[in-house]
Structures are given as C-alpha cells and as structure tokens.
A and B are shown apart, each in its own frame.
Chain A
Amino acid sequence: MRKRHFLGLMALPPALWAFHRLRHGPPEPLNPLQSLLSGEAEAGFARVLGPEPFMFPRDHAAHPDYRHEWWYFTGNLLSPENDAFGFQLTFFRFAIAASARPSASAWNTRQAMLGHFALTDVNQRRFHAAQRLDRPALGIAGMQDTPARVWIRDWQAHHVATLPEVWELEARGPGYGLKLALTTTKAWVEQGQGGYSRKGPGRSNASRYYSGTRLAAAGEVTVEGTPMRVAGLAWLDREWGTSALAPGTRGWDWFGLQLDDGSDLMVYLLRQEDGSPSEFSAGSHVSGTGSVVALAAPDLAMEVLETWTSPHSKRHYPARWRLRIDSLGLDLRIMPRVADQEWEGLVRYWEGCVRVEGTRAGKKLQGLGYAELTGY
C-alpha cells in the first residue's frame, strides 16, 4: 500500500511541471527576417497588373512603391591560373509599410534592405557567404535613382549609363571580396509578356521582370586576402512586385544558364505545397543574336536525377537535373559545380554555380550558369 503512495508522491513534481508547460506553452520566437516580413497586410502597395513598357535607365533604379524588389547578380569567373569561382551578389529591398508618416528624422523610412554576398571557390570546394541587414538611412544603406545605385554599407552595385552599359559591383566578406565591372553584350531581356511575369492565377500574382542574360565580367576576386584577376560571364535578374507568389506556392527552382553556342536559357519552375509543379512555371531562351523565345510550363520537362542532403540543415535538395525542351531541341544535364552552396541564416535556400552538358538538335553543348532552389 505504501509503495503506491510513494510512487504517487514521486509523480507529483513532473505532473506539476507538465501542467505548467501546458499552461504557458513553449515560447516561439521568430527569426528577425520572419519578423520583418510577416504580416499579411499588403494593402496600399503598388501592384503589377499587366504588361508595361520598361523605361531604361530609370527602371534600373528602385521602385519603392512595390513591396519587394531585388538586384540579383550571379556569374562564373576564371582566373588566368584556372582558379574558378562562382559569385552571387543580391540586394533585396522590402517595403515594410505602404506609406510612411511625414517626419523630420533622418531615420524615417518604410524600407529595409538585405544583402547577400556569396563566393564559391570551386577548386577548394568552399562556399563563403555573408549577409547584411540595414535600414536605408543616414547613407548607411540606400538606393539612388540617377545614376542607378544600390548599396548596403560597403557593398554596392552602380549602373554606368555608357554604351555598352556597365554595372560596377563591389562587395566584401570576412577575408574575401569582389570588385567587378559587368558589361552588357545583348539587349535587356523582358521576361514573361513584355516584362509581365506571371507566377500565379491572380492578375497581380506577377512581377515586373527583366534580365541581363549575358554580361561580360572582368575584375578582381579576393580570397583569404589574396586578390586575383578574373573574367567570365555574369547574369543580372531584376524583379519587383507585390504578392507575386500565389498562396500555396511552396518554392521554386530557378536556372540561369549560359551555353557555349552563345545562347542563354532562363527557366523557373514553381512548386505547389504538395510538391507538384505549377502551371505558371515559365522561362525564356535568348539566341546568340538576341532574339527571345518565351517558354511556358508545357515546354519544360524537368527531371531530378539526384538529391543532396545538407549536413547543416538536413534538408534534401535536388542535385542533378535533366532538362528537355523539345520545342528547342534542347536536352541538357545540369549539375552543381560544388555540392554545398546552401545559404543558412535568416532565409534558407540553395544558390550556386552549375555546369551544363547536353545537346541541341543533336549537337553537343556545354555551359555554366547559376541555380536557385527554395522551399526545401
């Protein structure tokens, strides 16, 4: 009889603890970016509702009335000593509020700016990534209209309106850095329908989207304090919009590939919550002479050949693809140049340089590019 009593008494503290836990629940903190972006209120922002002509160089600069915007620079570089690098420099702008109250303060703003800078050292199989998050005030971060310039502290992208046009990039991380001049070799490509790039069923589930699909890159890369002259090809994606993604979209896979026949291929495949592809996936093919062919979801046959599990986040990413675009006669195999190019931190995604091999209408093709995998 007493043993039972004892056991009963012994069970009391855990019971109390459990009760306490249930009442208060485990606290769930948000990460700062979630905190930054969360909130469904999207009233008051400008929306992309249909095709509109682009106005350059004005559209190189920011469009602050839309909720989000980015300047997305990626590229593959090579030094004379055959040191191969991939780089990604992204400037994100978020409008936190649709409008700001009038203020005399230099801090007043309704925008936040996030920068991501990654350098992949292909030979050493290393991935360096750095992030900055700042409020565009007091010149610490900001956007300029003329000439178009966007910067966060000591990272910047600066447009020079010469002919051909040049984007000058500068970024630094702990022990590594980059300073490049990107020169246009083709005209700016309007993605989607004249820049109206649809991502979902709603009319406003769209963004304005243009790309610089083939920019000649030249400049300097610093790794562990050692600067190296490099050259290669770069890609610029410019997008802005409000609630572009339809609800229920889990993520996407984006590819920007530059092939050795002079053509460039952009493909994005949207994924629903259940993993099935969205009908709003799309892409474009730019020929060597600059003529653009728009691609729609039925044109794209993508097959995942391999997956890779991240040792940091334990997520499974696709790691080898076969892309067939029959309408263009393309049969390509795409593989990452370094397996681990995963971004961890405020946002989690995989963004890295890739290698392409395949055929076009029977002829052998090769190329390099960048892939972005989100929502895994």
Chain B
Amino acid sequence: MIPPLWKILFAYLYRRPWQGALGVFGIALGIAVVMAVQVAQSSARRSFEAAELTLAGMATDRILGVSGHLPEALFASLCLQEPELKASPVVTGHVRGGDANPRWLRVHGLDPVSAVGRITTTQAADTGLPAFLLGQAAGVASGSLLRSLGSASSMPVTIEGPGGSVSVSLHSLRETDANLILPEDLIVLDIALAQDVLGHSGRLSYIDLVIHDDAQGDALRARIRKRLKAGFELRDLRGDRVARQDLGRAFETNLTALSLLSLMVGFFLVYNTANFLVVQRSVLFSRLRALGVRRREIFGGILMESAALGALGGLMGILLGLLLARFLLGLIAGTVGNFYYTVSATEPELTVPLLAMLWSLAVITSLVAAVPAAWRAARVRRLTTRSIAAPTLSWRLPLSLAGVLALSALLFHRIAAARLWVDFAAMSLMLVAVGLLVSPLMPTLSGMLARRLESPRWWPERLGAANLSRADNRSGVAAAALCLAAAVSLGMQVMTASFRDSVDRWLGQLLRADGYVSAPESLPTPLAEASLASLYVELGRYPLLSAISSVLQRERSSSLGMLAVTAYELPAQARDGFEFLSGNATGIWAHWEGEEVFIASESLARRHGLTPGATVTLETDHGAQTFTLIGIYRDYASERGTLAISRQTSSRHWQDSGYSGLGIYLREGDEWHKVRDKIRALAGEQSGIRLRSREEIRLLSLAIFDRTFAITRVLGLLALLVSLAGLVGALLAQLLERGREYSVLRALGCSRVDLARVLSCQTLLTGMLAALVALPTGATLAWFLVRVINLHAFGWTMDMVFPPSLFAGMFVSMLAAATLASPYPALRLGRIAPAQALREE
C-alpha cells in the first residue's frame, strides 16, 4: 500500500506546489542562516589557523627575548649543548617594498632547512623551498601580495630595510595546497637575507622548537629554562594558540545562537505548512481511512512528505547559505580583524561533514515539526464529512509546561552559573515558555474584545475577533513565532542600545584629553612607537600644552599566561578618567608610580578572579617580578582585559622607549585646531601622524561599535522576515478551513470589503497580541543578555537603558507586518464564490 500513498500525497503537491513552498522556504532560510554562520566562522578560524600552521605549524615552544630579540650565539650554543633538539631560528622585521607603490611589508626570515612550518614542504617556482631561498636574493609571498606589488611571479621587487636595499625575486607558493596561507603583507626570506636587509646582524627574533610531550621532552624544557638567562623565556606556543582561540569563542557563540533562532523559526514554518496541508486534505484522509489505509501509514506518509520537503529545503538552504556565507565572512572579517586576529579573505570551504550535517538538520527539523500534524491526520475518523476541528486548548497544559520550563531555566542558572552555554539554554527555555503562553492567551483576549463589540456596525470586526477566540492554535502558533522573533530582535536591540549607551558614557568619562595622537596605521609598530617617542620629546621642549598623557601597549608573559599590559603616564586630569569599581581612587594614585602595583580592567579581573591584593608575576628584562593589584576599573576596550601599570613602573622593569599613543591637554583658552596644526608642524608634514579631538575619537569608537553589531541586526531582521512568512501561512491555512463559512457570508450578501474587514481584524489582533507579549519579553531578554550572558561572556557590567523609541518602533513594525500579511489572503478570500456554499462536500 505504501508507494501509492506517497504518490497520492505527492500528486497533490505537484498540482499545487506553492502550498508546500512555504515550508520549503522556511527550512531553506533557517538552514541557510545556520550554514552561513558556521561556514563563515570556520573559514575565518581556518584562515587564521592556516596562517599559523604555514609558518610555524609544528613548533611547540618558542624562545624569546623579553626585549624583543636574542643573540644568535644563543641558538648555536643551544644546538651544540642539546644536539637532539629540533630548533629553527626566525628573524622578523619590516621593510618597504614595491617599486611602483612602496608599502610596508613584514619580513619573516627562516631557515628552510630546519623550519617547522608547513611551508617547507611545498615548492616555489617548481623547486623546493630551500633550493629557492638559500643563498639567493629570493623570497616567497602570497599571490595577492604579488599582485598588489604589481609584480608578476618571480619578477624582481626592491625591498628596503634598515640594513639596506635589495632586489628580490618574489614567488608565490604552489596553489594546489589550500592549507598554505601566507598573511597578505608578509614575505618569507632566507634568514641570512633577512638579517642583511633588516640590519639585524647577529640577532634573532625568536627560536621555534619542537619538543615532544613526554618525560624526556619535559626534562629538555627544564634544562633549557635553566640555561636561559634573565630576559629570555621559553614559551609554550600551544597554550597561547588555545587562549587566542577562546577569545573569539564568545563572539562566535552569539552568532551561533542567532543562527539557531532562525532555524527555530523555520521549524515553525514547517509546522504551519504541515498542518495546513493536513487540513486541506482532510477529506482525502477520511476517504483513505475508509478505504482501509491504516493510521500508521497515514502518519508515516505525512512524515515522509515533510521529510521530502525538508530535504528539498535543505538543498536550497545550502545553496542560499553559500551566498550568505560570503557576505557574512566579509562582515565577520571586519569585526574579528578589529578585535581578535587578522583574517585573510578566503573562500568559504565546504566539507562533506558540514553539508551532511546541515542536510540532516533540515530533514530532521521537518520531520519533527510535522509530527503533530501527522498525528492529527492519522486520527481522522472514517467517513467524516466535517473538516478537522481545531483542538480546544485549555490554559492548564501550556501554563504548567511554561512553568516547568521557567523553573528549569532558573535551576540551570543556579546550578551551573557562569557557564555560557547554560545561560543560553536557560534563556531558550524561557523563550519557549513564553511562546507556549501566547497560544492560549490569544483566544482569551480576542474573546474579551469580541464581547465588547456590540454595535452591528462592527459586526465584521466582532466576527474576526470571535474567530480568533475559537482556541484555534494555528494562528496561535504563528503568533508565537512572530512574538518570539520580535522579542529576540527587540531584546538584542535593547541590549545593543544599553551597551552602546554604556560605552558612550564610559568614553565620555574616559576621554579626558582634548585630543589624541597616534601614528599612521600603515606604519609598523616599532616605527610607530619610535616616531611618537620623538614627538613626545619635541612636545616637551615647547610650552605648548598644559599636560601630556601617554600609553604604551605590550603583550607580556605572566603567571596568568599572555596578558595585555599597558603602561600609562597619567597627569592629574587624566586620572579622573578612570572609574574604579573596586579600590579607592586616592589610595590607588598614591601608590601608583612608586610601587610595584597594577590596576586591572574589569574583564581581566573577572576572568581570572582577581581582587585587590592579588598578585601577578610578569617576565621582565631582569627576570620575573611580582606586582600587586590595587584597583579594578571599568573598561570596554577589550574583552580580554588589560593589566595597567604606570609608565614609571614600566621603565623600571622594561627597556621600552616608544609610545603607542599620546593624549594632549590644552592650556586654558587654547583652541584645538590651532594647537593641532602646531603639533603637526612639529612632527613634520611627512610623518602622517593622526591627531584627533576627543569628540572625533568618541564618534570613531561608536562607529566601530555599530559596525560590529551590524551582524546581529541583519540576523534579527532575517528571523523577523521568516516569522512573518509564517503568519501569512497560518492565515492561509485558516482561510481554507473556514472557506465554507466565508462563502456562506457571501451568500448572505456580505460584500468583499466586509470580508476583508473580518480578515484584517484577525491579522491585526494577532499582530497586536504578538507585539504586546513581545515587548515585555524583549525587555526581559535584554535584561538577561546584559546582566547574565554578556557578563559571563565578556566580563563587563553595563547599565541598562530601555529606549522608548525601540519599543514603539517594534510595536509599529509588528502591526505593519501583520497588516502586510493580509493582502494576499484577502485576495484569495475575495475570490470565494458564494455559490460554494451550496455545494455539498
């Protein structure tokens, strides 16, 4: 009996394909978003990993000099003392390259005979890398860099560094190995050539080691550490890598959560479609049952059909997802590149496991979503001539279910607080609970409204409201979907607004200086710091300003792993910019310069559980040094957190003469733009330093913020669109069910306009109810996101704002959406002929 049943079901869809289209479309969209997010994320991660692996893939440890370089004699003595050791020397620096448009390039000088990255196992110019580089004026770069230098492969390019100028023959790597990626601004040279052109004679930047993880390896590490003098350290590379990956994870989790929301909405659409199709064919099912088809077979048939729709939707979603992934990758690369790690633009890569997973997800989601409808279809009694009645939904079941979910959510939260995924789970449970409540809420409220509409003038509206009050859960589900999508969208908007508000106020407090100086972005860091240092000295000579503040940013090895360490020089005016959450300001500034103390940004303190009095050991030029925490301050600049010390303290332990940035404090009565021009003249017109007023910095920071959160806006909008489609579907389903009723009204002489009024009333009520529930839910969600999730993910406390414009805007757009949902169904409605009333089933 099975094949013919499928044929029957499928034949129906063949004739009216658009009816299944809604479900297909819903799944496609959900899958597309999930896929796009996954692919874009993994591409970004992969390109970062690939770059690492290309140059230093197998290295497990690294020897560095705290000051930034090591003597090459250290390498020689290390190799001779530990003959079994696999070590590879590296020299790095910056040069200017290119004949037509010179630009800054990073140099990576390695020994191709002993190098530990994947790059050594490939070829350049059809010859092995050592043969290409050793003893030659040759280098390797990415294809895109070669193009930007205007050089065809292997044409000589002039590079100029502190050690001199060399004409180098650059070549790109063999293109068939997709896992070899070189950063866009990097050229790889033989170590001898690198030393020559950088003027690093006798010096190395670091030494990569490959040490096994066994007793011998650990003994080797211990011996090496003992031999290293103060000012040199042996760092565990793999720990670093893991730490850096963790950073991006919080960001990625947010994206994944949003993508799952889209899938959930797709789920609702399939649910709607399945119900819709079942209702349409209720007569068919009753006849089939009369003919002897078993319940099981009908159940199975509906599920199969839904699975087929899901499979088709999955495929569409995958294709759609590819396009979306490209778009997202661009967005992500911008955001991620700003804050976490540089990403080279790569093609999104499809892997079989990913495709298989997505496709199965589509099919499984469709199957599960169709179960209730299939169940209902199977329960159709034989020979019934009535259409399938809407099940009456009492309050009790959803209410108790919602209560259970909410309680579990709270319980989760208590048990496993501060675990990000638990927080997300709790939030999802609460959302589902709200969704469940919407369904029975609608009949109750509509009923109340219907009873109010006494006057015969409002009979269409009364009928519309009365229709909704029928405890019909189909519109209820659509309303719930719309409500949830709106709530999530609103919640994220409110969270973003709160965040932005906090950042804005923080910036307002933090930015004390009248203006800020930084070096041009294209300049490599060491040169940038040096140019600011010379400007600093110049500014000191002229009585131009009332005060200067400065900042120097470094990565340092510590007892807590790699930390961002910032050295501040803070005149009195600048000190007010710090808002201390823990510790007393007067006390802090008293100890600030003279003692080995530090202050920590909030996220650093939270991440490592630091409280005033805690100590951290940092690697300095003279060896390890312990610092004590005396205060915790508010800071949104980075989720990793910063350890801040005074410039004086920094000078005692590290030899660093540069500055990452300067803050300018004007004298009384001076104007910014005049002083700015004077400073620019001092620096020299060629220097290209950037001078920005406080206001400019503030606006720039906010602009970066907005760009970062562009992604969440896009995804929120998508979710809303999908749920809107669901609403349309639900209306159409309902139309079908009550078609007879409407034709009776037409027979009784009801005009098309009146019928449209009935329908519009329904959609508007649905939209309004969804909106009314969405508003408080969105606010609660925002609260949860700000106070719980972001606190755990980023470690920032934020103050909440609830801008009325956001709420009003959401309410209006939902009504508008609901209104937009009516035209098509109304059109279909209008076509109902009154004569249908007379036809028997």
Contacts and interface: CB of A to CB of B under 8 A. Distances in A.
B73 A138 contact: yes
A63 B194 CA distance: 27
A202 interface: no
A1 B135 contact: no
Interface in A1-38: 1-3, 5-6, 9, 12-14, 16-17, 20, 24-25, 27-32, 34-38
Interface string B69-105: 0001101100110011000010000000000000000
Nearest to A19: B350
B263 interface: no
A281 B127 CA distance: 30
Contacts of A13: 352, 355-356, 359
Contact of B111 (A16, A27, A135, A139): A135
A134 B177 contact: no
Interface string A72-116: 000000000000000000000000110111011111111010000
A140 B201 CA distance: 17
Contacts of A27: 176-179
B121 A35 contact: yes
Interface stretch (B2-10, B619-627, B749-757, B801-809): B2-10
A225 interface: no
A113 to B, nearest CB: 9
B122 interface: yes
Nearest to B85: A153
Given A25-B176, A30-B123, A134-B114, A105 B196 contact: yes
Q: What does DSSP make chain B's interface, helix, strand, loop or mixed? A: helix
Contacts of B122: 29-30, 35
A99 B135 CA distance: 7
Interface residue tally of chain A, by bracket?
Answer: 35 or more
A96 B130 contact: yes
A109 B135 contact: yes
B126 A39 contact: yes
A142 to B, nearest CB: 11
Nearest to B130: A36
Given A9-B315, A17-B355, A29-B121, A39 B128 contact: yes
A12 B352 CA distance: 11
B135 A110 contact: yes
A1 B131 contact: no
Interface in B174-213: 176-179, 190-193, 195-196, 201-202
B135 A5 contact: no
Nearest to B132: A39
B191 A20 contact: no
Contacts of B356: 13
A97 B134 contact: yes
Contacts of A34: 128
Contacts of A101: 135-137, 193
B201 A35 contact: no
B136 A135 contact: no
B355 A97 contact: no
B134 A140 contact: no
A172 B80 CA distance: 12
A102 to B, nearest CB: 9
Given A30-B122, A36-B128, A104 B134 contact: no
A138 B128 contact: no
Nearest to B129: A35
B322 to A, nearest CB: 11
Most buried by B among A13, A30, A133, A140: A13
B128 A5 contact: no
Contacts of A100: 134-136
A96 B135 contact: yes
A303 interface: no
A25 B130 CA distance: 25
Contacts of B132: 39
Nearest to A30: B121
Given A16-B350, A29-B122, A105-B195, A36 B359 contact: no
Interface in B428-447: none
A135 B131 contact: no
B376 interface: no
Q: What does DSSP make chain A's interface, helix, strand, loop or mixed? A: loop
A154 B3 contact: no
A140 B76 contact: yes
A28 B308 CA distance: 40
Contacts of A140: 75-76, 79-80
Contacts of B83: 132, 153-155, 172
A108 B193 CA distance: 8
A12 B126 CA distance: 37
B366 interface: no
Contacts of A110: 134-135
A174 interface: yes
B594 to A, nearest CB: 44
A28 B180 CA distance: 12
B10 A2 contact: yes
A30 B6 CA distance: 55
A28 B174 CA distance: 10
A188 B725 CA distance: 93
B120 interface: yes
Nearest to A130: B84
Contacts of B10: 1-2
Most buried by A among B118, B120, B202: B120
A41 interface: yes
A133 B88 CA distance: 11
Given A12-B315, A27-B177, A110-B134, A105 B192 contact: yes
Contacts of B73: 138
Contacts of B114: 133-135
Given A27-B177, A41-B127, A153 B308 contact: no
Contacts of B121: 29-32, 35
B133 to A, nearest CB: 9
A153 B120 contact: no
A106 B178 contact: no
A24 B176 contact: yes
A30 B128 contact: yes
B243 interface: no
Given A12-B315, A27-B179, A108-B135, A36 B195 contact: no
Contacts of A31: 121
Interface string B1-24: 001001100100000000000000
B359 A105 contact: no
A16 B134 contact: no
B176 A97 contact: no
A3 B10 CA distance: 12
Contact of B113 (A24, A99, A133): A133
B311 interface: yes
Given A2-B7, A36-B113, A38-B131, A105 B191 contact: yes
Given A101-B136, A104-B196, A39 B79 contact: no
A27 B123 CA distance: 12
A28 B121 CA distance: 9
Interface in B758-798: none
Given A2-B304, A96-B131, 18 more contacts: A1-B10, A9-B315, A25-B176, A27-B178, A32-B121, A34-B128, A35-B121, A38-B127, A100-B135, A103-B192, A107-B195, A109-B134, A112-B113, A133-B114, A134-B114, A138-B76, A153-B79, A155-B83
28 contacts: A2-B3, A9-B308, A13-B355, A16-B352, A27-B177, A29-B177, A31-B121, A35-B123, A36-B113, A36-B130, A37-B131, A38-B127, A38-B128, A41-B127, A96-B131, A96-B134, A105-B192, A106-B72, A107-B89, A107-B195, A109-B135, A133-B114, A134-B79, A138-B76, A140-B80, A154-B80, A155-B83, A172-B83
Interface of B: 3, 6-7, 10, 72-73, 75-76, 79-80, 83-84, 89, 111-114, 118, 120-123, 126-132, 134-137, 176-179, 190-193, 195-196, 201-202, 304, 308, 311-312, 315, 350, 352, 355-356, 359
Sorted nearest first, the 8 A-B pairs with minimum C-beta distance are A39-B127, A100-B135, A35-B128, A110-B135, A29-B121, A108-B192, A105-B192, A138-B76
